Amino acid sequence: MSVPVDHRPRFPSDFRLLLASQSPRRRSLLRDAGVPFTVVLSDAEERVSGRPATELVEANALAKIKTVRMQAGSGPGSFVLGTDTLVTIDGAVMGKPASVGEAAAMLEMLSGRTHQVVSGVALQRIGGAGPTDVVDRVEVAGAVTDVTFSLLDRGQVESYVASGEWWGKAGGYAVQGLAGLFVTEIKGEYSNVVGLPLCLLYRLFRKLGFDLMQRTWLEGGS
């Protein structure tokens, strides 16, 4: 039996998405969803304290798109995507561990318990006739996913930390990797735990006039 071919139309030539993120997980999620994009590094500072997690991630996502906005050009199909993800447990925010000790401590805190993965997504559509005639439309929203870990013993924690997979990950683990062996339950978007809530992103694109599934501008969108 032959493998089915994707018969959907190609993305319009005037569609352009700039991803303001260095995360390989976010790039992989977009690539697997068939969405073309260009990575533009953002130098925005990611804040992990001082405000509730839901507010922090949305503010961080907005800060990222602001730093790369002018690199998007002024074409009618230009979008800029910024996103940020944090892990929280008992109201405490867990960022990215900076050392083996921090990674182990985070895993021990998550062991046998349910925590929340909180993401903020900011999508900006840029359009206009020229560099000085830019019309900006921005949609910002958040997603929360509950993740439950099994009870981990010291050996499991040490083995996972030794793998190095925790590096650069909010909460010190990667659900799509070895840490998936520890997860007993997920309530909410799985892709949010990886780093980018795709269902939420789809809705934001539609609000801004483009359908990622149909690969077409919605009425009045372009």
pLDDT > 90 in the chain, percent: 72
Q: What is the mean pLDDT of residues 56-81?
A: 81
> Of all helices (H) and strands (E), which one includes residue 80?
strand 78-89
DSSP 132-174: TEEEEEEEEEEEEEEEEEPPPPHHHHHHHHHHTTTTT-GGG--
Residue 75's pLDDT is what?
A: 58
pLDDT digits (tens, 9 = 90+) for 181-194: 999 999 999 999 99
pLDDT at 53 over 80: yes
Assigned CATH for 16-217? 3.90.950.10
pLDDT exceeds 70 at position 66: yes
What's the pLDDT tens digit per position in 89-145?
A: 998 999 899 999 999 999 999 999 999 999 999 999 986 444 443 457 899 999 999
Where are the domains positioned within the chain?
16-217
The pLDDT of 70-76, averaged and rounded, is: 58
Q: Is the pLDDT of residue 212 over 80?
A: yes
Looking up tokens 């009870």 gives 151
Residue 71 pLDDT exceeds 70: no
pLDDT above 90 (res 17): yes
CA distances from 104 to 141, 158, 166 (A): 31, 7, 9
**Span 22-49, pLDDT tens digits:** 899 999 999 999 999 999 888 777 776 7
Give the distance between the most distant pair of CA atoms in the chain: 61
Q: Is 84 a catalytic residue?
A: yes
Pick the catalytic residue from 84, 136, 146, 211. Answer: 84
Query: How many CB atoms are closer than 10 A to CB 146?
Result: 13
pTM: 0.88
